[in-house]
Amino acid sequence: MTVLALMRHGESGMSIPDEARPISANGRDQARRSAAWLAEQGLEPGHALVSSARRTVETFHAMDLRCPMTATEELYECPGRRVLDEINGVPGDVDVLLVVAHFPGLPEAAAQLDPGAELPGFAPGTVVLLDLDDGPAAPGSGRMLSWFTP
């Protein structure tokens, strides 16, 4: 059993190109608050899978977690199915997997994992926790546990 934490990056400023947008001071605060909420839930990610966009990498670093991180271009501007594919590509057995990425891929992935869940709006910094069945992340293989928006 794996707990999956799907997190939208913190609030970001405007920049061109889009993937170079930094998080704002408020975005750093959102990231810290979301990390604190995860800790309050007794969850410490064993690994983080992060979009290679600047704002997602900066969000991860602002969380000050002690887990390894893999940044990938595959999570940038991708559909929900691609998010699931990337989750399935994480090697080893991870009890808590954090994914820091973007809208609309994250809400699409959450909706695929738990089609009956009433999901939040995925504002910047939002974290959605899902309990995943053993085996690959696939449509219907998760149950939403809770969510937090800073």
| Tens digits of residue pLDDT in 78-106 | 999 999 999 999 987 899 999 999 999 99
- The answer for residues whose C-beta is within 8 angstroms of residue 140's C-beta and 6 or more apart is 112, 113, 114, 115
Q: Residue 115: is the preceding peptide bond cis (ω within 30°)?
A: no
Question: Can you give the length of the chain in residues?
Answer: 150
Give the C-alpha separation, 32 to 104, whole Å. 22
Q: Give per-residue burial for 89-99: e unless 16+ CB within 10 Å, then b.
A: ebeeebebbbb
| Tens digits of residue pLDDT in 38-52 | 999 999 999 999 999
**What's the whole-model pTM score?**
0.96
